[in-house]
Structure 1
Amino acid sequence: MPFVRIDLPDTISPQDAQALGDAVHQALVASFEVPPDDRFQVLARHAPGALVCTPAYLGVAHSARVALVQITCSFGRTLAQKRALYAGIAHNAAQAGFAAADVIVHLVETARENWSFGGGVAHYAPVAS
């Protein structure tokens, strides 16, 4: 049930944006045991100046093709699973033509009751008694 938002410069083609979305989803399936059909993503391309990323941080250099990936998911994954996810995204992104250093990932964990998949229903909330 992850919700993925990928923000990219508008110089990235729609096809490359989709390839990165595929790369992120494949890593989620492999590392977080997300079902293959559990895919909710926003792929947003932004005009110059709309994305701000320092050219280098913590020894990692970023180019003009930087991708900001935010993944909102439920609590419960181990640190090992999170590390595997980050590594999987970087590997898959490189296969899709992105530099691994250009993929910044931000994981946001939230309680399962905070999700509704439509119809005004809190699908994962405990049933009221």
Structure 2
Amino acid sequence: MPLIQISLAEGKSPEYIQAIADGIHQALQTSWKILLNDRFQIISEHKKSHFLIDKMMWNGNRSDDVVVIHITSVLRTKEMKLNLYSELVKVLTVNPGVRKEDIFVTIVDNTPENWSFGKGLAQLSA
């Protein structure tokens, strides 16, 4: 049950944004075997002056088109995380054509009782 927060600089077309969202979901299905309907994404566009991502830190060579993908999820193995990073590059460089240097990912692990999908219940910790 990952929650995906996608941040990018404003000005992209609806088709570009949809391709980003679809590509991330596809990469998660492939690398983490999530279900088709396990899709929880929040997309935010930011003014360039409010999107301060260093272009060179960690040999980044990032452009103004960086896409920040923040994932909150129950614990995943190191191998699963590394596979996801690779799969995201594979998918997003094809459609919508994001440069591999511009795919910035963070993952925050938590436990099943940290999730409530409504009704005051912790559905994953049952």
Structures share fold, TM-score greater than 0.5: yes
Q: CA deviation at 1:49?
A: 1.1
Amino acid at match of 2:30: A
2: distance between equivalents of 1:72 and 1:124?
Answer: 14
Q: CA deviation at 1:60?
A: 1.8
Report the count of equivalent residues. 125
1:99-114 alignment runs, 5 A limit: 99-114=99-114
Question: TM-score if structure 2 supplies the norm length?
Answer: 0.94
Correspondence for 1:10? 10
Deviation per CA, 1:32-61: give whole Å up to 9, x if none: 111111000001111121111111121121
2: distance between equivalents of 1:65 and 1:103?
Answer: 9
Correspondence for 2:77? 78
Q: CA deviation at 1:124?
A: 1.5
Contact 1:12 1:65 in 2 (8 A): no
Percent identity between the two aligned chains = 32
How large is the RMSD of aligned CA atoms in angstroms? 1.1
2: distance between equivalents of 1:57 and 1:87?
Answer: 20
Q: CA deviation at 1:11?
A: 2.1
Deviation per CA, 1:59-101: give whole Å up to 9, x if none: 12100101110010001x2211111100101111101111111
Correspondence for 1:91? 90
Q: CA deviation at 1:121?
A: 1.3
1: distance between equivalents of 2:125 and 2:88?
Answer: 30
1:3-82 alignment runs, 5 A limit: 3-75=3-75, 77-82=76-81
For structure 2, the 5+ residue unaligned runs are none
For structure 1, the 5+ residue unaligned runs are none
1:49 aligned counterpart, secondary structure = helix
Runs of 4+ that moved beyond 6 A? none
Contact 1:18 1:43 in 2 (8 A): no
Correspondence for 2:120? 120
Question: TM-score if structure 1 supplies the norm length?
Answer: 0.92
